Homo-oligomer: A and B are copies of this chain.
Amino acid sequence: MARTAAPKEKGKRRRDHPPALRELLRVPGGEPVDLSSYDSRAVPGGPADKAAGLAATARLAERLAGLQDRLYAASTAGDPRRLLLVLQGMDTSGKGGTVKHVIGHFNPAGCRVRAFKTPTARERSHPFLWRVRRALPEPGEIGIFDRSHYEDVLIARVRELVPRAELDRRYGEINLFERSLAETGTTVVKVFLHLGHDEQRARLLARLDNPDKHWKFSPADIDDRALWPAYRKAYELALERCSTGTAPWYLVPADRKWYRNWAISALLLEHLEALDPVYPKAGFDVGEARDRLLKMP
């Protein structure tokens, strides 16, 4: 586990998250991935326990909100940069929970959340990246994809929705697409929520036991669970082939919700701090504006 000191992490800030969590959680691309070698209950680089995790996440939230404000402000002066968080993982792995508990701390004015469901007839009539391109964040915004174009190499592989040759071309197409995003100012943060097989059963049962959550459940979720090994293989391939230098995958153990929220907050913070957006200087004469205001009735 490579641990290198992040230049911006000094003094008391260091307690909230370790130096370069992104080095710790990053999936090395180009080599086979074996998900069974990652413990879904682990808390790599994380706070000591749940209480410490919740407190650290709350502190991170304040810093995230400040950086978001700077990112948005910078865009008003022409800074093209933005951030796109891609969330992938099996049913109940916490994609929706992350949106609620992590993204919920940002100013909603600067967030663009999009959940990708089964493609509509119209979406299917277009190339698979079409619907994704229409949901990208604008400069200064934080975009969030709850599922994404990766569904087109995940469920599409497991359910054999497209010919194998086309499927295999998609990985390269995705890499080119994500590189083009990076080149036009989008920092892409891809998070795979690594959920344990047993934990999924517990969470699905919990949904069944709560009538207020039945709407989140579908018998198709059980069909998908029966295909768990095929999904794991599909995720391993996506991680191997699409964890690139410009858009790496981060593997976040997801059995502990407090760790998941903390880790994603910390990852976002590291990326936003690296961007280091600055408030634009005034494009007008501040003293003159002040004088005018004071002279008016």
A interface list, Cβ under 8 A from B: 73, 76-77, 96, 99-100, 103-104, 106-109, 111, 113, 115, 144, 146, 201, 204-205, 208, 211-212, 214-219, 222, 225-226, 279-282, 284, 286, 289-290, 292-294, 296
Contact = CB atoms under 8 A, between A and B. Distances in A.
B113 A205 contact: no
B286 A208 contact: yes
A8 to B, nearest CB: 19
**A contact patch SS:** helix
Contact of A215 (B96, B99, B144, B280): B280
B108 A222 contact: no
Contacts of A73: 212, 215-216
A214 B108 CA distance: 21
A287 to B, nearest CB: 9
A296 B225 contact: yes
Contacts of A100: 107-109
Among all A-B residue pairs, the 10 with the closest Cβ atoms: A214-B282, A73-B215, A99-B109, A212-B279, A100-B107, A215-B280, A103-B108, A219-B284, A76-B215, A108-B113
A209 to B, nearest CB: 8
A282 B211 contact: yes
Contacts of A219: 284, 289, 292
Contacts of A212: 73, 279
Contacts of A281: 211, 214
Contact of A107 (B99, B201, B215, B293): B99
A296 B103 CA distance: 34
A284 B289 CA distance: 65
B77 A215 contact: yes
A272 to B, nearest CB: 16
23 contacts: A73-B215, A73-B216, A96-B109, A100-B107, A104-B104, A108-B108, A108-B111, A108-B113, A108-B144, A109-B146, A111-B113, A201-B293, A204-B293, A205-B293, A211-B279, A211-B282, A212-B279, A214-B281, A215-B280, A217-B284, A217-B289, A219-B289, A222-B289
Contact of A104 (B107, B211, B217, B294): B107
Given A205-B293, A293-B222, A282 B217 contact: yes
Contacts of A106: 108
Contacts of A226: 296
B96 A222 contact: no
Contact of A208 (B215, B222, B293): B293
